[in-house]
Structure 1
Amino acid sequence: MGKSVIMLWSFSLLPSFFIFMNLLGFLEAQNKTPIVYVFGDSLVDVGNNNYLALSIERAALPHYGIDYPTKKPNGRFSNGKNAADFIAEKLGIPTSPPYLSLVSKSRNNKNVSFLGGVSFASGGAGIFSDKIDEISRQNIPLPNQVDYYIKVQGQLTEQIGGPALQCHLSKSIFVVVIGSNDLFGYFNSKDLQNKSTPQQYVDSMTSSLKLQLQRLYEQGARKFEIAGIGAIGCCPSNRLKNKTECFSEANYWALKYNEDLKTLLKNWQLEKKDIRYSYFDTYAAIEDLIQSPISYGFREIKTACCGIGKLNAELPCLPISIVCSNRQDYLFWDPVHPTEAATRIFVDRLFDGPSRYASPITMRQLVAA
């Protein structure tokens, strides 16, 4: 009888034991490598949308993931690894797992820890909330991603305590890659264009983004890696609007938004003396590849590797699509997303510069700050 009681008592302590071991590992690693929290859209989504039951915005069908180590679709909108993967590689840590995958495990009574970083990024997400209920949601907008982060922070507080968590968060990197879908949406919607001018819309984007960044700051975030919007007018789907040439209006407002974003970040740092940030000029990085593709190893900058129709951009990459065999030569994987080869170049510049791309410091310097 006594032995049975002892055994039952021992088993009841197992969950606490695992949490304790996670805590020990966390404290040991705290001064070695940073933890990464990722917010954003399909450029950094590593599978969250796969857990949205009714979402059609998924990278869950062939030929996505064809060059990923598993050779299978995995929720990344790429032929292989995406920016979140390459950032993790640079830091020497595993890619932060999708938040919804961790939630799914916890529902199945599996031991789950958020101590190793989390990705809240979602394909199709924008800065603005879409006001759609959770059940029918197609993606996770940035305000909802921040809501999820706040939930995680509450659970971490219970696991390791407030002081240890604050120390942890002050060293963690908060990656934010968002905004492209908002501009895509504006130029594809007569309703949005009737409601506001492009300038009003861009102003609203920046003010809404600052609100979400401020929410993260209030919950302990101090180091931010923030990417501007790329030359979205030059992606294959937008080239269709201008006889295969770049859709200049979309590019113009992407640049205007980026200028406003840089001003926002400078002023915000003046307000909050304890934040550090690195801004990545995605526009300049992709423009260089478009202007001098051969020097970067690319031979095709207009047509997508995988898709259907003119420029392989009239329909998305589907199982019936014919996929290019020379994927290293292509700038774009599908009608809107870059290839793994292009993304690797972007992250190299994000991490180490030069200052034309990463300012006022590089991500490497941000980690060390």
Structure 2
Amino acid sequence: MGKSSVRFFLFPCFFFFIILNSLEAQNDAPQHQAVYVFGDSLVDVGNNNYLSLSVEKAVLPHYGIDYPTKKPNGRFSNGKNAADFIAEKMGVPTSPPYLSLVSKFNKKNVSFLDGVSFASGGAGIFTDKTGLSSRQNIALPNQVDYYIKVYGELSQQIGAPALQTHLSKSIFVLVIGSNDLFGYFNSKDLQNKTTPQQYVDSMASSLKVQLQRLYDHGARKFEISGIGAIGCCPSNRLKNKTECFSEANYWAVKYNEVLKTMMKNWQWEKKDITYSYFDAYAAMQDLLQTPTSYGFTEIKAACCGIGNLNAELPCLPISVVCSNRQDHVFWDPVHPTEAATRIFVDRLFDGPSRYTSPITMRQLVAA
């Protein structure tokens, strides 16, 4: 009788202990959607600042001139960039740079559960074909490596079930590919080795590999951006007497077509993913073709730079910065102004359908 009583009381206590631990694990999981950002300088919020050998850092005067702090902060813009505006749309803080969270100088308690940015200025889909890695950027495969490391740490912290629930609701933003095309058209060696069609096909298939790696580690909701009209950047206009470099634009469109097809097929393979594709090319072309309807008067020259179209040299401390930054589409030889970026993110988040498919980002967030 005594032994039975002991068993009877031990069992409820043990059961209560399990429930308590389970509730604690659930409480560790965040109650909001996080944003995990991958990509290039269009969404980098400061990772490159932590790469000691990188020459691509937005740390010089003039960068950040319209940011709340009025100081350079690692964003390749006069103010906020696409990552900031996406976070604002979602009502969450901008995801911090991964390298700032793991920096030996960071003494604060940080949580990867609140979202992280792995984006790096100058990064591409490839690590070797464009030579991007030699310039000390974090190429997309390496960004995903960092994410997988974060996934492992989070799994230990809150357990696999709670983590999967969190990640399945989170948004994975990818803005990448422009630098790969820049690299192709600036490399005779690449052009001799592969045709443009083979190259863009390889870009899309390589991107799918990285998407699959994210999927294998919990990602289910993807915001994917196509490549914009990069031939119309001030630096590329110099190749064609101030007019858009049509060949770069043509292959940006071709890549976007391959990317859209790949995403449709991938969703058919993976029934549990949801994605929104943003046609950055269409959005940018509309802005360039009817600039005054958006409040712009200068679509060719950069606001900050040196030489013809302010595009022969980058935005340097000796550059004269335009005073009418709201009127310019381009901030420096390759990056849009804060004003232009805000319009792009408005289109990305809410459409209309000629810019986003099969759903808008707003619908993706709500899904």
TM-score by length of 2: 0.91
CA distance in 1, matches of 2:129, 2:50: 19
SS of match in other structure, 2:298: coil
> CA offset at residue 335 of structure 1?
0.2
**1:189 aligns to what?**
187
CA distance in 1, matches of 2:106, 2:321: 38
SS of match in other structure, 1:302: strand
Percent identity over the alignment is 84
CA distance in 2, matches of 1:278, 1:330: 28
> CA offset at residue 115 of structure 1?
1.3
> CA offset at residue 108 of structure 1?
5.3
**1:95 aligns to what?**
94
Quote the RMSD (CA, aligned, Å). 1.9
Q: Which runs of 4+ in 1 moved over 6 A?
A: 22-25
SS of match in other structure, 2:95: coil
How do residues 10-159 of structure 1 correspond to structure 2 at under 5 angstroms? Answer: 27=29, 29-30=30-31, 33-105=32-104, 110-130=108-128, 138-159=136-157
**2:282 aligns to what?**
284
Listed one character per residue, the Cα deviations across residues 320-349 of structure 1 (whole Å, up to 9, x for unaligned) are 000000000000000000000000000001
Unpaired stretches in structure 1, ≥5 consecutive residues: 1-21
**2:9 aligns to what?**
none
CA distance in 2, matches of 1:69, 1:109: 24
SS of match in other structure, 1:86: helix
CA distance in 1, matches of 2:351, 2:261: 20
SS of match in other structure, 2:277: strand
**1:329 aligns to what?**
327
CA distance in 1, matches of 2:248, 2:28: 44
8 A contact 2:100–2:106 mirrored in 1: no
> CA offset at residue 111 of structure 1?
2.4
CA distance in 1, matches of 2:88, 2:191: 41
CA distance in 1, matches of 2:183, 2:129: 15
CA distance in 2, matches of 1:209, 1:51: 25
SS of match in other structure, 1:331: strand
> CA offset at residue 113 of structure 1?
1.8
8 A contact 1:52–1:137 mirrored in 2: no
* 1:303 corresponds to which of 271, 295, 301: 301
* 1:270 corresponds to which of 268, 271, 279: 268
SS of match in other structure, 2:179: helix
CA distance in 1, matches of 2:27, 2:159: 15
Unpaired stretches in structure 2, ≥5 consecutive residues: 1-23
Q: Residues 61 and 176 from structure 1, CA distance in 2 versus in 1: closer, same or farther, beyond 3 angstroms?
A: same
8 A contact 1:54–1:136 mirrored in 2: no
**2:210 aligns to what?**
212
> CA offset at residue 195 of structure 1?
0.9
Listed one character per residue, the Cα deviations across residues 88-144 of structure 1 (whole Å, up to 9, x for unaligned) are 000111000000000105x655422211100000000000013999x9752000000
Whichever of the two has the greater Rg, that structure is 2
* 1:354 corresponds to which of 327, 330, 352: 352
Q: Residues 227 and 131 from structure 1, CA distance in 2 versus in 1: closer, same or farther, beyond 3 angstroms?
A: closer
**2:7 aligns to what?**
none
CA distance in 2, matches of 1:196, 1:323: 40
8 A contact 2:305–2:311 mirrored in 1: yes
> CA offset at residue 295 of structure 1?
0.5
**Does 124-133 or 262-271 show the bigger shift?**
124-133
Equivalent AA in structure 2 for residue 95 of structure 1? T
Listed one character per residue, the Cα deviations across residues 292-344 of structure 1 (whole Å, up to 9, x for unaligned) are 00000000000000000000000000000000000000000000000000000
SS of match in other structure, 2:172: strand
Q: Residues 150 and 184 from structure 1, CA distance in 2 versus in 1: closer, same or farther, beyond 3 angstroms?
A: same
TM-score by length of 1: 0.90
Equivalent AA in structure 2 for residue 103 of structure 1? V
CA distance in 1, matches of 2:91, 2:110: 22
8 A contact 2:130–2:180 mirrored in 1: no
> CA offset at residue 158 of structure 1?
1.0
**1:364 aligns to what?**
362
CA distance in 1, matches of 2:76, 2:238: 21
**2:244 aligns to what?**
246
Listed one character per residue, the Cα deviations across residues 270-292 of structure 1 (whole Å, up to 9, x for unaligned) are 00000000000000000001000
CA distance in 2, matches of 1:251, 1:113: 40
CA distance in 2, matches of 1:278, 1:136: 32
8 A contact 2:44–2:76 mirrored in 1: yes
